[in-house]
Amino acid sequence: MPAQPRRNPPDPAQPPAADGHAGPDAAGPRGGSIAQVAARVGVSVATVSRVLNGHANVRAATRERVLAEIETSGYRVNELARNLRTAESRLLLTMVPDFGNPFYAEIVRGIDGVARQHGYFMLLCDTGADAGRERSYFDLLRRHRADGAICLDPATVQHALAAESTALPWVACCEFDPGVGVPYVGIDNFLAARDAVRHLIARGRRRIALINSDEHYLYAQQRRDGYLDALAEAGLEARDAWRVNVNCLDYGAGAGAAAVLMQQAAPPDAIFAVSDTLAVGVINGLRGAGRRVPDDVAVVGFDDIALAAQIDPPLTTVAQPMRELGETAARLLLQRLAVREARVPGVLLPHRLVVRQSG
């Protein structure tokens, strides 16, 4: 009788696999199988699977209990095995033009929070507002290395890629052009800028300057137009000398622009800056020029980043709903992924003016 082949004894460190119980798909300090997670929560394996795969037909309370148990137990999904079964990467790209701008931080947190709730991971991509770098990230979508993308790049970059990318699952966030033909979320930049300048006018300011971004950005064009509309409405002069465009939104650019404005024979008595980072720099630049804020020159910013309330004086600014912008962008993208042929609408979220001591 031929000798029977030797069988290695089971490895106690590796639970049995492939039958819905623990295996390479899971590992954790409390025993990491999907069945064990389900048993501890008191739900079916199918319910845990629906949570992991981001399906919406799970009650919120149940979803939270499952996610809490997954976190506590250390359950880990074998992503490669699942991807081969589902042809999904469970990866969402977030393309950001400038990592150094704190405005994007809260938006990214909003995107990541919704992605995790639905079983996705988020990959943060630094594009530098460069069409070539953005194109390389879109290639990940074409090759199914990522399921979808959220783009915060300028509308000009989006236009450059529109012809080749409209069929891909992506959403524009903050900077958008409805003409590109993809879902978007943002605010009404024209109305927001007009509200900011109207506020300065109501405070008695008559010589109001604008420090703006490069006007190849669509939001810069819209905020410029809102500024001009508010001045025209009040019958105030819009001097070209009181409009300064900068190539970046950092603190130094704001300080430099403020110094240029204060050197004029008839300097402005108020400055509207199209971002808080610029506005913080403006306040420092005015201080360096011997001007007091708001006594000599009032300052209004845009975004309401965390620093805006901490500087001296605290900054009056237009608040964008940054976390909600990110959350909405992620939900729009998930809608598009769930039903590829569905028409997903664009969304405009409300802004608000936060009045502090700078103007």
Q: How many CB atoms lie within 10 A of CB 139?
A: 12
Q: Look up residue 308 and give its amino acid.
A: A
| pLDDT score of 25 | 39
Q: Going by CATH, does the domain composed of 34-83 fall within 2.130.10.10?
A: no
Instruction: Look up the CATH number of domain 88-186+322-349.
Output: 3.40.50.2300
* Cis ω before 313 (30° cut-off from 0): yes
| pLDDT score of 77 | 58
Closest to 256 in 3D by CA, of 237, 235, 273, 270? 273
| pLDDT score of 7 | 42
| pLDDT score of 22 | 36
- Three state DSSP letters for the chain: CCCCCCCCCCCCCCCCCCCCCCCCCCCCCCCCCHHHHHHHHCCCHHHHHHHHCCCCCCCHHHHHHHHHHHHHHCCCCCHHHHHHHHCCCCEEEEEECCCCCCHHHHHHHHHHHHHHHCCCEEEEEECCCCHHHHHHHHHHHHCCCCCEEEECCCHHHHHHHHHHHCCCCEEEECCCCHHHCCCEEECCHHHHHHHHHHHHHHCCCCCEEEEECCCCCHHHHHHHHHHHHHHHHCCCCCCHHHEEECCCCCHHHHHHHHHHHHCCCCCCCEEEECCHHHHHHHHHHHHHCCCCCCCCCEEEEEECCHHHHCCCCCCEEEECCHHHHHHHHHHHHHHHHHCCCCCCCCEECCCEEECCCCC
Convert 164-189 to b/e letters by CB count within 10 Å (16 or more is b): ebeebbbbbbbbbbeebebbbbbbeb
User: Do the Cβ atoms of 245 and 227 come closer than 8 Å?
Assistant: no
Q: Is 11 exposed, middle or buried, given 0-12, 13-18 or 19+ CB atoms closer than 10 A?
A: exposed
Domain with CATH 3.40.50.2300 in the chain: 88-186+322-349, 189-319
User: Do the Cβ atoms of 313 and 356 come closer than 8 Å?
Assistant: yes
| Domain 189-319: top CATH class | alpha beta
What's this model's pTM, rounded to 2 decimal places? Answer: 0.74
Domain with CATH 1.10.260.40 in the chain: 34-83
User: Do the Cβ atoms of 180 and 213 come closer than 8 Å?
Assistant: no
| pLDDT score of 37 | 83
Chunked into runs of 10 residues, the chain (359 residues) has average pLDDT values of 43 37 40 77 84 74 84 63 54 90 93 94 88 83 89 75 73 86 93 98 98 90 97 96 94 97 96 98 97 98 97 98 97 90 87 97
